[in-house]
Amino acid sequence: MSNVGQMAESIDWSRAVEENRRWLTAVLRARLGDVNAVDDVLQEVGLAVLNQPKRPTDPQKVAPWLYRIALRKSVDYRRSQGRQRRLQDGLRQRLPRDQQPAASEWLMQLEDQNQIRSALDRIGQADRQLLVLKYGEHWSYQQIAAHLGCTVKTIEYRLLRAKEALRDQMEGMMRSEVKR
């Protein structure tokens, strides 16, 4: 058997997914914004890994490869949710007005959200993901760079930009609260 074939067989993919589970969960949580969906999408990532015919043979490339699969699966999930929302909206339009949920219930749910979560939701997914990995998961710049497959300088720059975007959102929210 060739050396490449032996290296591919030496990676235990179930174990690789499990070893990277924590940061994959953080990535999916940042991308999806729905904590309840993370486990489902993580399971889809695991299935995709096992069903892929071409997997990396270099252990250094496993984490970036898993990251790309997690991104694809999060996009798939969001598209699916969009289709379901459109279907529900169509059904809701067919319901009589007295059977539709009250607007006050919806507004109360929105007001109950945490202000920082709201600001995080308003920034880009990539920025939100970096902030979650750095400050939620307490990853070093080196760890983030290795898992995203880029340089530490790139991570430093992107984190700076992400913090500025979050700060701008928080300031905007505070200004709108003051105007009320």
CATH no. for residue 175?
1.10.10.10
The reply to whether 106 falls in a domain is no
pTM of the predicted protein model:
0.53
Same domain, 68 and 8: yes
* Residue ending a domain, choose from 95, 126, 149: 95
What's the pLDDT at 100? Answer: 56
Which of 121, 152, 126 has the alpha carbon at shortest distance from 139? Answer: 152
The reply to whether 91 falls in a domain is yes
pLDDT in tens, the chain (180 residues): 444 444 445 788 888 888 999 999 998 988 888 778 888 898 889 888 888 888 888 888 999 999 999 999 999 988 888 887 777 677 667 656 665 555 455 444 444 445 677 788 888 888 988 988 888 888 899 999 998 999 999 999 999 999 999 888 888 877 776 665
Please give the Cα distance from 17 to 121 (Å, whole number).
27
Same domain, 88 and 140: no
What's the pLDDT at 65? Answer: 93
* Residue ending a domain, choose from 66, 95, 124: 95
Same domain, 5 and 65: yes
CATH code for the domain of 38: 1.10.1740.10
The token duo for 156 is: 């430093």
Same domain, 64 and 140: no
Same domain, 90 and 144: no
**Other Cβ atoms within 10 Å of 145 Cβ, number:** 18
First vs last C-alpha separation in the chain: 71
The reply to whether 155 falls in a domain is yes
**CA dihedral (161, 162, 165, 167) positive or negative:** negative
**Other Cβ atoms within 10 Å of 94 Cβ, number:** 7
Same domain, 49 and 6: yes
What's the pLDDT at 178? Answer: 62
Same domain, 64 and 134: no
The token duo for 101 is: 């949920």
What's the pLDDT at 64? Answer: 92
- The total number of structural domains in the chain stands at 2
The reply to whether 100 falls in a domain is no
What's the pLDDT at 11? Answer: 84
The reply to whether 108 falls in a domain is no
What's the pLDDT at 158? Answer: 94
The kind and range of the H/E element at 3 are helix 3-10
Say which residue the tokens 């043979």 belong to.
57
Burial class (CB in 10 A: 0-12, 13-18, 19+), 13: middle
Say which residue the tokens 């949710």 belong to.
81
Say which residue the tokens 């496993």 belong to.
62
What's the pLDDT at 155? Answer: 93
The reply to whether 73 falls in a domain is yes
What's the pLDDT at 84? Answer: 78
The reply to whether 131 falls in a domain is yes
What is the residue-wise DSSP string for 117-179? HHHHHHS-HHHHHHHIIIIIS---HHHHHHHHTS-HHHHHHHHHHHHHHHHHHHHHHHHHHHH
Domain that holds residue 160: 114-180
